[in-house]
């Protein structure tokens, strides 16, 4: 078990159980069998997180998973069978389901959007718009759904956005400063117009250009300007309804924050036999 997984699951259990599950304390030490059931179609992700939610409470709980991460499931499909003390299972239930429902939602939404643009060369990227404490987990779910991870945080990639550029005085000054100090890191410049794009294309040392809130006509022009020079990323107000139109412009990447911040939890339930 990775330290991150252990720490993340334990923190969630501590938050929920606190000094003890008073409702579970009313139950007798009875062995039961239970199932986690999908109530809708989904791409499943988060099995390890759910697994350790049970085992960190009670290592004697036996779990037989009938699906794997990345697998498509349908309504009323059984995901796993649990055998153990009733008190242990009910104490772990909510945390386990929270991880599984949320991470499966990210994987499912990512898979849906990736499928829509599969006929193009565009790759779907996530963003830093993740649930606090679940950054790595959600980015794992994005990969499971067929997406590609953007930067993990503020430390592994330089991204020069409008406020960085305004503070530096120009795109050129901001980029030169980044190249001088962080040449070993990817450097991405966010532009808001075709003029800013041309300024950026004239610079050396840039890794990628992010076209923020470009209309599709301008994205087509941007692709023509950047062809053979730098890869382009489109971002801003892109969703399931216009992603195909954006991908058809020829951009290399499309980043969408909604796959991690606006997901609706997959409907799962745990029931005793």
Catalytic positions: 94, 129, 161, 190, 212
Sequence-ordered list of residues with C-beta below 8 angstroms from that of 73, at least 6 positions apart, any chain: 38, 41, 42, 43, 44, 67, 79
127: its two tokens = 């963003």
Pairing of strands 187-191, 158-160: parallel
| Cα dihedral 110, 113, 119, 121 sign | negative
In degrees and rounded to multiples of 5, residue 88 shows phi and psi of: -65, -40
Report in angstroms the alpha-carbon separations of 192 from 5, 35, 166, 273: 38, 51, 13, 57
């Amino acid at each position: 078990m990775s330290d991150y997984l252990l720490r993340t699951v334990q923190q969630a259990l501590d938050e929920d159980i606190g000094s003890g599950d008073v409702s579970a304390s009313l139950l007798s030490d009875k062995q039961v069998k239970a199932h986690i059931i999908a109530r809708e179609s989904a791409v499943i992700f988060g099995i390890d997180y759910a697994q350790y939610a049970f085992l960190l409470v009670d290592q004697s709980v036996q779990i037989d998973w009938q699906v794997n991460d990345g697998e498509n499931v349908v309504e009323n499909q059984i995901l796993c069978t649990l055998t153990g003390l009733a008190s242990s299972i009910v104490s772990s239930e909510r945390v386990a389901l929270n991880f599984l429902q949320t991470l499966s939602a990210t994987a499912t939404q990512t898979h849906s959007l990736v499928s829509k643009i599969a006929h193009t060369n565009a790759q779907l990227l996530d963003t830093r718009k993740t649930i606090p404490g679940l950054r790595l987990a959600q980015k794992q779910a994005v990969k499971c759904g067929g997406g590609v991870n953007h930067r993990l945080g503020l430390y592994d990639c330089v991204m020069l956005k409008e406020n960085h550029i305004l503070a530096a005085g120009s795109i050129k000054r901001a980029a030169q400063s980044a190249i001088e100090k962080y040449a070993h890191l990817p450097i991405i410049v966010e532009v808001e117009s075709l003029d800013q794009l041309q300024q950026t294309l004239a610079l050396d040392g840039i890794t990628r250009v992010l076209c923020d809130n470009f209309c599709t006509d301008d994205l087509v022009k941007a692709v023509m300007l950047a062809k053979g020079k730098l890869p382009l990323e489109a971002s801003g107000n892109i969703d399931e309804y216009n992603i195909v139109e954006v991908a058809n412009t020829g951009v290399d990447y499309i980043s969408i924050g909604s796959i991690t911040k606006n997901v609706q939890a997959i409907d799962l339930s745990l029931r005793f036999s």
